Structure formats: structure tokens, C-alpha cells
Amino acid sequence: MAETTTKQRKHGRYFWISCITVGVIFLVWIIASASGSLDNARVVPSIGAVGAALLDLCTSGYKGNTLLQHLGASFFRLFTAFFLAVLTAIPFGLLSGMNKKVRAAMEPIIEFIRPLPPLAYYTVIVMWLGIGDSSKIMLLYMACFPPIYIACVASVVKIPEAYTHVAATLGANDRQMFWKVILPYTAPDIFTGVRTAFGHGYTTLVAAEMVAASSGIGWVVLDASNWLRSDIIFAGIIVMGVTGLVFDWILRNLEKKAVPWKGKL
């Protein structure tokens, strides 16, 4: 109990440090705006202008769609791709970690795709799948798949041989070996890969909404840049950042519930 209380106090202290950091950033922004240090409001708008733009987005929306509709369109594309990546990358990653032949077949594809910028192959995807949501989802899927796959493979490969030897000595079959040894050991790294994949997908969202889109928070930021609406751009970035933090917080708490043994193996 005492140890738990100490950890909670430390966590609370670190939380306030983070809050102070954010507060200092906003304070510098306010002071710079009030003092006239920001000469070009089109480049760096005042915090008041961004606040007004954010309020306008919430109340009036942007070009025919409300903020919730834009977020809904983006999240539909992102979560569809993200869940498809989770459902496919985890099995392929675990299988590749356990089977060198599968790993040898998969690695050239993954290592070729992983470092490519999304815009490098987006045109090809659009040519194949058209300009609708299918191409956008595919682009996001290709951004989410590699981090999860690599995390799974790396985690399986580093399982201590002593764990599998002990399980085999106790008579564990292949199914028991997977459910009792491999999956529990790799689960923390899988969650790390999932969180990383979600971040990759979110950063690719603007690129995914570049072609033939008329909705989505990424499209809002991109369209506003065409009209030099820096207030809308900053407001959109803040919305994306806050929602990204919320979803990452959800994933972190889900990880704590699902794999409480993380760091104890």
C-alpha cells in the first residue's frame, strides 16, 4: 500500500510538471502576441485568433461540415485502417517471430515499405483503388502495419530460451506454449507497437486526405493552408493533438489493465 501511494505521488508530481510546461508555452505565446513580437499574424496568429477560430469550428464548422463531422470522417478512415492493421499485423508478426521461413518471406516487403514516405506511393494506391475512402484507408493501413509487425517479431525473438525449455519440460504442447509463454511475454511489446502504429497512422492522416477529400480534420488543415488561414491551421493542429493525446491515454490505460505484468518478467 505504501509503495502504491509513493508511486501515485510521483505520478502526480510528474503530471504537474507536464502541466507547467504546457502553461509556459501558452504564456510565452500570449506575451509574444500582446507585445507585438509576432509581426506577421498570417505566419503565427495570436492565441486569441486561434481561440476564435476554434470556437467558430465548434459552432459553425468548416465549409459545410461541423467539427464533429470532420472528426468523424477522419476517425472512420483512421480506425478502420488501424483495426485492420492490428488484426493482421499481430498474427503475421507472431508467426514470423516463431517461423524463420515466414520471417524471411515477409521481411523484404516490410523493410521496403517501412521507410517510404506515404506520398511516395499514395499516387499508385489512388490509381489502383480510386479517390474514395478505400485509397485513404489503404494508405493509413500501410502506415500502421509495419510498427506492429516489427514489435511482434522482435518480442518473440527475444523470449529467453529458458522459458520455452521449462514449458516443454513440463509437457506443454504448441498451443499451450503459445498461450502460456509466447503471448504473455510479447503482450507488452505488442501494445507498444500498437501505440506506435496509431501515432504513425495519425501523422499520415493529412496525407491521406490530400486527394479528392472534402471532409476530415486533416483536410481542414490542408485546405486552410491553401487560403493562408493560419488561425484555422493552428486550431486544427490543436484539435488533432488533443484527440491524439486522448486516444494514446486510452491505449496506455488499456495496456495497464491488459498486461499488468509489464516490466516484471
Q: Which pLDDT band holds residue 85 (cuts at 50, 70, 90)? A: very high
- 82: DSSP letter: H
- 172: DSSP letter: -
**Alpha carbon distance 85, 87 (integer Å):** 5
Decide: 92 and 106 in contact? Cβ < 8 Å: yes
Per-residue model confidence (pLDDT) at position 36: 63
Show me where the domains of the chain are located. 1-32, 45-258
Does residue 201 carry a pLDDT above 70?
yes
Q: Which pLDDT band holds residue 8 (cuts at 50, 70, 90)? A: low
More confident residue, 104 or 47: 104
Three-class SS state of 228: coil
Architecture of domain 45-258: Orthogonal Bundle (1.10)
pTM: 0.84
- HSE toward the beta carbon, residue 111, CA cutoff 13 A: 7
Count CB neighbours of 44 within 10 A.
Answer: 17
Closest CA to 71 of 56, 58, 55, 85: 58
**Alpha carbon distance 230, 141 (integer Å):** 30
Does residue 121 carry a pLDDT above 90?
no
Per-residue model confidence (pLDDT) at position 161: 84
Per-residue model confidence (pLDDT) at position 40: 56
Average pLDDT over the chain, rounded to an integer:
85
Q: What is the mean pLDDT of residues 78-84?
A: 96
Does residue 3 carry a pLDDT above 80?
no
Highest-confidence segment of 30-39, 142-151, 197-206: 142-151
- 99: DSSP letter: -
Q: Return the C-alpha cell found at 101.
A: 521461413
Decide: 204 and 139 in contact? Cβ < 8 Å: yes
